[in-house]
Every structure is written in C-alpha cells, then in structure tokens.
Structure 1
Amino acid sequence: MTVNLGSIGIWHVRPHLDTALATEAEKLGYGALWLGGSPPADLTAVEELLDATERIAVATGIVNMWQADPVETARSYHRIEAKHPGRFLLGVGVGHREATQEYQKPYDKIVSYLDVLDAEGVPRDALVLAALGPKVLRLSAERTAGAHPYLTTPEHTRRAREILGDGALLAPEQKVVLDPDPERARASARPMVSRYLGLTNYVNNLRRLGWTEADVSDGGSDALVDQLAVHGDAATVARGVRAHLDAGADHVCVQVLPHETDPLPAYRELAEALELTG
C-alpha cells in the first residue's frame, strides 16, 4: 500500500471532523483521519482536510456504493491524488442493505463497483474495502489494499488476520469513551452501538463471534457494549485500542463517543496515553 496510515488514526464524522481537528490531530501524531458518514462522491470534504494539513493521511470510512456513483468517485480520487499524492486512501463499501431499495446482492454490488474503479484507473493499493465476513474479507485482500472492519472486537481482528494472511491491510474501527465511570460510559456509548444492532450484517458478524441473541437485543448487553465501545481512563482505553494491534491489525481507527460533545480533548488525552509523537 502506498498510503502511510501509521498505527493509530481518528475515525469521526462531520461537523466535528473539520480542519481544526485535522490540524490538531496531525500535531498530536495521529497517522490518519477517517471521514465517516458516507461522504458523497465529490469527496470535497476529503480535499478540505488534506488542504488544511501537511502530512497526515485521509481515508474515507466509507464511500457507500449504493449512494455514490463509481465513475464520479474515481474522478474525485484522481483529482485529489494529483493534488495530494500518496495521502488519500479511498475506503468503499456497501454499508448495510436496509439503507437501499435497489435490488442487487451486496457481494455482486461490491464486485461490480470495484470493476468500475479498476476500469477508471484507481490503483488497488489506494483502495480499502469495508469487510466483516470471510467472503468479503478475502475479496478485500484480492481486489484492494485490504479491509476496514467496523463495529468489531479484537477477536474479530484476530480472525480477520487469519483470513487475510500477511501483507493485506487490516484497519478496524474502535469506539471509545474516556470516562472511568462504567454506567455513565455505557450510557454514552449505547445509543451509537444500539443503532447498529438492528442491522443484519453487523448482528450476523457478532453472532459469528459467539455473541448471543440476548447480547444483541435491547440495545446490547453490558458485556457487548464494553467491547464495542471501550471505556475507562486514558490508559485503560489505550490498552483496548492496542488489543487490536496485538491481534494482528496494522492500524486502528479510534472513534470518540459521544458525538454530541467536542471530541478533541479526548483525542489529546488518548494521544498521550498511546505515546504518539507529533
């Protein structure tokens, strides 16, 4: 892969993932910014983040294949790559099937979308694919630089590395809450976690990992929420983030919760606990 992500990045959505957060993240030593929330195919938000910074990589987590035209996405990639060579990783994926009425099997949609990106000259080593299950994980290694799993655990990371083998990028997302009070932290995390527990692809993946119907019901069990949104003081959270690296990840995308608050103080505190260097 040509884009240098470092080992720890920030995954966040607009409006908080703005140029102010981008410039501070670069100073703090984070290696990449992951723009969530299904950015549109014009990718102007990516370009703004790159324009405001000097070194940090920017990735999309992810451009949604049901929503973003692949030809326009490819043209946007080439525009950005020409302006900021080697700093942009195009993350793409099908998201969740419930979000679209279009009739096409998700796997077929992924293949056809990647075919268009190939035809439009987007290099495979500048692409990463949202992947959870074994079939799409294998495809990510075959057709792109690797996988960007979302809403997962270190155990999923371990299994994903076995499927991907050596050499393919593995960049899981990890939600965190910097709060030492368990009940308060879970209350902050559960609204975000629970929205995904009504979506088939995420629930199926959690069941493959051994979580039960009780764990994925009613907003998620405490044990499940604790894994999907690691909480505690900065040192505890840092250990939870590093657990993915220990399990075989190359890079971890950290998402601070809740989104209703300014995440920058937490990212500063976590950067110190992770011993990042600006």
Structure 2
Amino acid sequence: MAVDLGRFGVWHQAEKWGPELASGLEQLGYGALWLGASPDADLRDAEVLLASTQTVTVGTSIVNMWRDDAAAVGASYHRLEEEHPGRFLLGVGIGHRERDGAYKSPYATIVDYLDALDEAKVPVDRRALAALGPRVLQLSAERTAGALPYLTTPEHTRQARETLGRTALLAPEQKVVLETDPDIARSIARDYLAGYLQLSNYTSNLKRLGYTDEDIENGGSDDLVDALVLHGTAVEIADGLKAHLEAGADQVVVQQLGKEGPDLLPGYEALATVLF
C-alpha cells in the first residue's frame, strides 16, 4: 500500500466526525479515519479530517459514482495530496439501485469511472473500490489498491481474500455496540440496520453467505444481527474484530453505534486498550 492504514480504522458518516473525535482517535492509535456515506466531490469533509490530525490516513468510503463526476473528484484528490501528501485514500463505489435514480449497468459504470480516474491521474494504489460480489472484488484487485466491503462478516472476508489474492488491500467495515445486555444491543443494531436491509446490494451478498429471507426480514434474525453488529465487552468485541484479520483482512474498519461525536471516544479507547 502507498499509504499506511494500520490494522484498525474507524468509520463514521460526516455528521459524526469532528476535530475532537478525529484527533482523539489518532492519539489512541487507530490507523485510518474513514468518511462514510457519499462525500461530495470537493472532498471538503475529508480535508477537515486531514487538517484536524497529524499523520493518520483519511479515506472515503465511499464517493458515489452516480453523484460525483470523476474529473472533479480527481481534481479534489490532487488538492488533498498537495496539502497533505501521502495521507489520503480515495474510496469510490457504485451506490445502490434503490437510492440512485440513474442506476444502470453497474459493472460498466465502475469500469468507465475507473478509466476516468486514470485520465485524472489518480494513482491506482491511492484509490480503492467498494466491493462485495466476486466480479467487483476481482476488479478492485485489478484496477485499484483493493476492496472496501461494508456490512459483511468474517466469512465474507475469507471469501473476499481468496478472490482478491494475497496482495490487494482488504478493509472490511464492522459495526459494534459496547453493551453487554443483548436485548439493548440488538435494539440499537436493528434501528441502524433497518435501512441497509432494504438494499439489494447488501441483501444479495448476505444470501450468498447463506442467510435466508427469514434472516433478513423483520429487522433481522438474532443470528444475522449479531454477526453484522458485534456486542459485548471490549474484550469480546475485540475477539470478533480480530476474526476479520484471521480471515485475511489487512485492516478492520470499526463503526461504533449508539453514541454521538466525542461521546464515541470512551468506547474507542476501551477497544484500543485490547486491540493495540
């Protein structure tokens, strides 16, 4: 990798990020800060994270190909590289059929977008691709640094590593709730998962992993929810995160649910004490 990600990173949507959280996570030793959802083409939110920290890598997970022109994104990449050399990784992805009205021919669109990033001179090893299924995983290994899977399990990580080969980046996201009461933890998890379990990209991938319609319906079965959102003590959650590393991940991207802004820091600190 052209940028150093470390073994554990943190993922949040823009509204949860802020200078205090970003700098706190850097001090705790997390290797990368991931700006979730669909950051705008100007990448200003990523610029804020970079300016709030000293050395940690910042990545997008992901810039939506349907929303943002590749040439504009490429220009923003070069601006960030000039301002903060070697610290930014551009993650891009296809989005979701249910949310993007122009959605069509997703694989061809990904190829065309990567071609446009080539034209914008965004280096292959400084970009990554949201990927779940085998075909896009293979493309991520061929045309980018590697894959950024979201809403997955260690079994998906194992299968993805087999598809990607040994050298491509694999950085799966894993949700966690630092709560030992399973009913409370699952309630928090189901509230967050509700929208995602309506999106065919994710549900198709879960079915490839062996989950059924019954697992996915009505907020998700306990087995599915527990796989997608780890809960328990910091030690118990750390074991679940490390399972991705054992399955072949280069970095595990942690998303803590149930807190906001700086209130997230104590949970990440508790995890850091057993992860690092």
Structure 1 length-normalised TM: 0.97
Give me the whole-angstrom Cα distance separating, in 1, the residues matched to 2:136 and 2:145. 13
Counterpart in the other structure of 2:139: 139
Counterpart in the other structure of 1:76: 76
Which SS does the other structure have where 2:203 is aligned?
helix
Give me the whole-angstrom Cα distance separating, in 2, the residues matched to 1:259 and 1:70. 34
Counterpart in the other structure of 1:220: 220
Give the 5 Å matches for 1:1-278: 1-258=1-258, 260=260, 262-274=263-275, 276=276
Moved over 3 A (4+): none
Which SS does the other structure have where 1:71 is aligned?
helix
Deviations 1:13-33 (A, max 9, x none): 122211111100110000000
Which SS does the other structure have where 1:176 is aligned?
strand
Deviations 1:88-144 (A, max 9, x none): 000000121111121531111111111100011000000000000000000000000
Offset of 1:174 from its aligned partner?
0.1
Q: Which amino acid aligns with 2:266?
A: P
Offset of 1:245 from its aligned partner?
0.2
Which SS does the other structure have where 2:198 is aligned?
coil
Q: Percent identity?
A: 59
Alpha-carbon contact 1:126-1:145 (below 8 Å) kept:
yes
Give me the whole-angstrom Cα distance separating, in 2, the residues matched to 1:259 and 1:266. 9
Which consecutive unaligned segments of at least 5 residues does structure 2 have? none
Alpha-carbon contact 1:97-1:106 (below 8 Å) kept:
no
Q: Which amino acid aligns with 1:37?
A: A
Give me the whole-angstrom Cα distance separating, in 2, the residues matched to 1:158 and 1:78. 34
Alpha-carbon contact 1:175-1:254 (below 8 Å) kept:
yes
Alpha-carbon contact 1:16-1:263 (below 8 Å) kept:
no
Deviations 1:222-254 (A, max 9, x none): 110000000001000001111100000000100
Alpha-carbon contact 2:96-2:103 (below 8 Å) kept:
no
CA change 1:235–1:39 in 2 (3 A) is same
Give me the whole-angstrom Cα distance separating, in 2, the residues matched to 1:234 and 1:182. 14
Q: Which amino acid aligns with 2:56?
A: I
Which consecutive unaligned segments of at least 5 residues does structure 1 have? none
Structure 2 length-normalised TM: 0.98
Give me the whole-angstrom Cα distance separating, in 2, the residues matched to 1:18 and 1:68. 23
Offset of 1:259 from its aligned partner?
5.0
Offset of 1:157 from its aligned partner?
0.1
Deviations 1:135-194 (A, max 9, x none): 000000000000000000000000000000110000000000000110100001111112
